[in-house]
Each structure stands twice: as structure tokens, then as C-alpha cells.
Amino acid sequence: MPANLPPEYYEKERELRKAKTPDEKISILKELLSIMPKHKGTDKLQAELRTKIKKLNKLKEAEKKKRKTLSPYDIPREGAAQVVLIGPPNSGKSLFLSTLTHAHANSAPYPFSTLKPVVGMMAFENIQFQLIDTPPITAEFMDRGITQLLYQADLLLVIGDGSNEKAAEALEEVNKRLKEKNIIIGENKKAILTLNKMDTPGSEKQLQLIKAQYKSLPVIPISIKNQQFNNLARIMFDTLQIIRVYTKTPGSPPNLNKPIIMKKGSRVIDVAEEVHKDFLRMKYARLWNLKGIKGLRVERKYVLEDGDVLEFHI
Ligand SMILES: Nc1nc2c(ncn2[C@@H]2O[C@H](COP(=O)(O)OP(=O)(O)OP(=O)(O)O)[C@@H](O)[C@H]2O)c(=O)[nH]1
Ligand SMILES: [Mg+2]
């Protein structure tokens, strides 16, 4: 039996083809159903439209769920390393991010001014570290979802508040909260302790107390306000245990602006694998390094150092 559909039906059908969102599509499909004459000839078509609506509703539900489970702490790593700034309230985490990156984090003279993570890129020589500012951690408060980021981070930069006469206690609270989540700084997690606001009175005493408390970890005194960072970027690089390696093709110079970031201890073959699987067939490589070696033949197992340049020979 013919469906005998009215002309407006075909018009709406054209609209449907242009519709983009599930909501738009659902409303047009409903209109189509209402326009359609109801008789035996349209039974199959009616059923098809109803199935389409059902599918679209399911899609909508799935998207809603996805949005809900996406945490603001779900931040993909960019640059040479992901470094998460943590610490007690008001210690200067946000000012640190605003000072050392182009990103803006709200910094204010009262605690709990940061409620959500903020990301920025910090330059160090020819590479960049991804810095993430986070809300404060105290005995009473640690934002839900931050744990995932702490597990994933390459380095935790703990910032203490040197102007607080209970700076050591506040840091100990942070440390306790981390331990509850099985994060032991300096053991299963690379970390650097800094004490900020070294421009304020009493900060030196706090520094000595904290140094005594964390004997196995370096404590770096800084003053963001006075732009005194005590070589912190270099210390970050060293603590991360990474090296920069460059590759070149015979007859041309290496691109020194584009280092390959490798773990300390990586071998020639690891870099080959990183660059392209074709280089896994390499027979040997030639090496240039910062100590003045030029074009030395090295084998697959040769262990690399920061600044090494490789030329693969297949
Ligand atoms: N004197 C002095 N004040 C500083 C220094 N660094 C930050 N401050 C001040 O400390 C206050 C807190 O700074 P924020 O950057 O908001 O601190 P925060 O750690 O992000 O604070 P929360 O987000 O609440 O955890 C602000 O008034 C800053 O200007 C410093 O090196 N010296
Ligand atoms: Mg803040």
C-alpha cells in the first residue's frame, strides 16, 4: 500500500538531514510522526521513526554521563613534564603559576582563593614544563578528584608559606593527606619542597624547622614576590631525571630547538624507537655531545646523556 505522504513531510525530511544536534533531530522526527497519515501503508515508516527517536535519546543520555564523569583534574600532559603545584592555603601557588607562565591564576591575600586547577607552561632553556595550580590541601580539605592528578604527575612541587609561623605543621598536614592516598614524596613520587615568602620576617626560622623535618628532601627557599627562585627550574629538571636528545641526518645540523625528551639512562636504541620504528633496524649511530665528541661511532646499547646528538645509520 502506498504511503501517500503530504508535501510538508518531504520538506521536514530535508530539515532533518540538515539538523545537527540530537535535540534538533528528535523534535523534527516528532513533527514527522504527527504529519504522517496513520494507516497500514505508513506502519513501517512510523516504526522506523520511533526507533530513530529512541536511539537519539540513548545517545543524549550517554553524552550527559560522559560530561558528568569528566573531571577538571583530567589534564593531559603537555611539554617535557607535568608538574603539579600543591600546598597549604595562601602559600603562593597561584602567584607562582601567574609569575612563571603566561596563564592567569587568581591570587589573593586570603586562603582558598583557588577552587579549580589552572594550567600554564613554564619555560626552561629550550623546553617547557606544564605547571598545574591546584586548590589548597589541609587536614579538613582536599578536593575530590585531585588524587588522580597527583598519581599521574611527573613531579609534585610543594609550596609552603614562610610567613606562617605554623608553616611546618601546615606542610605536615599536606604530607599526611598524601600518605593517606599512598603518595610518599621522595619515595614513590618525585617531589620538591619549597618554602615561599622568604622576604617575610620569621621565614628563616621556618626554613630551618622544615629542613630538620625533611632531611631526605631538598627544601628550596624562594620568594615569588622578589622573583627569587634559587635555580628552581634547573632543580626541577634534575629531579625529573630526564635528558634532552637531538637527532640529525647526515650532512645537516641537528634541530636544537626540538629536543626529544627521554628518561635518564635511555640508550641509543630507545631513541631510535621513539623517533621511528624504521630506525629499529639501525646498525650503529654517530654521536656528538656537549663534552666535545664529534661523530663518534656508538652502538645500540650506548647510554645517552643530556645534550647528546645522534645520527642513525641503517
Ligand atoms: N610577601 C610575599 N607574599 C607573597 C609571596 N608569594 C605570594 N604572596 C602573597 O600571598 C597571598 C596568597 O597567594 P596565592 O598565590 O593566592 O596563594 P595560593 O597558594 O594560591 O592560595 P590558595 O589558592 O588559597 O591555596 C597573596 O596575597 C600573594 O600576593 C611572596 O613571595 N612574598
Ligand atoms: Mg591559589
Q: Where in the chain is the domain with CATH 3.10.20.30?
A: 242-313
Top mutation candidate among 225, 230, 232 for ligand 1, by most atoms within 8 Å of CB = 225
Q: Which atom of ligand 1 is nearest to the CA of 109?
A: 27
- Does this model's pTM top 0.75? My answer is yes
Q: Are strands 191-196 and 155-161 parallel, antiparallel or unpaired?
A: parallel
Which triple of cell numbers denotes residue 95?
Answer: 602567584
Q: Are strands 81-86 and 155-161 parallel, antiparallel or unpaired?
A: parallel
Q: What is the pLDDT of residue 67?
A: 72
179 CA → ligand 1 middle, Å: 25
Q: Which atom of ligand 1 is nearest to the CA of 98?
A: 15
| 113 touches 106 (CB < 8 A) | yes
1 falls in which pLDDT band (50, 70, 90)?
low
106 lines ligand 1 (CB under 6 A): no
Beta strands in the chain (DSSP E): 81-86, 118-124, 127-133, 155-161, 191-196, 219-221, 242-247, 260-263, 284-288, 294-298, 309-313
Percent of the chain with pLDDT over 90: 86
Ligand 2 ion: Cβ-proximal residues, 5 Å cutoff: 93-94, 113-114
Half-sphere exposure of 239 (CA within 13 A, CB side): 26
111 lines ligand 1 (CB under 6 A): yes
Segment 255-262 mean pLDDT: 93
Fold observed for domain 81-240: Rossmann fold (3.40.50)
313 CA → ligand 1 middle, Å: 53
224 lines ligand 1 (CB under 6 A): yes
| 49 touches 5 (CB < 8 A) | no
Question: CATH 3.10.20.30: does it fit domain 242-313?
Answer: yes
Q: Where in the chain is the domain with CATH 3.40.50.300?
A: 81-240
Reduce the DSSP state of residue 131 to 3 states and report it.
strand
Q: Which atom of ligand 1 is nearest to the CA of 97?
A: 15
Top mutation candidate among 84, 94, 163 for ligand 1, by most atoms within 8 Å of CB = 94
195 lines ligand 1 (CB under 6 A): no
Q: How confident is the model over 5-35, as pLDDT tens digits?
A: 888 899 999 999 998 889 999 999 999 999 9
Which triple of cell numbers denotes residue 177?
Answer: 593527606
Segment 76-89 mean pLDDT: 97
Q: How far apart are CA 214 and CA 160, in angstroms?
A: 13
Q: Which spans in 186-311 are helix H?
A: 203-213, 232-240, 268-275
Q: How far apart are CA 136 and CA 164, in angstroms?
A: 15
In the predicted structure, residue 64 carries a pLDDT above the cut 90: no
137 CA → ligand 2 middle, Å: 11
221 lines ligand 1 (CB under 6 A): no
In the predicted structure, residue 3 carries a pLDDT above the cut 80: no
In sequence order, the 6+-apart residues with CB closer than 8 A to the CB of 174 are 86, 87, 88, 137, 138, 158
**What are the two backbone dihedrals, phi and then psi, of residue 7, each rounded to the nearest 5 degrees?**
-55, -35
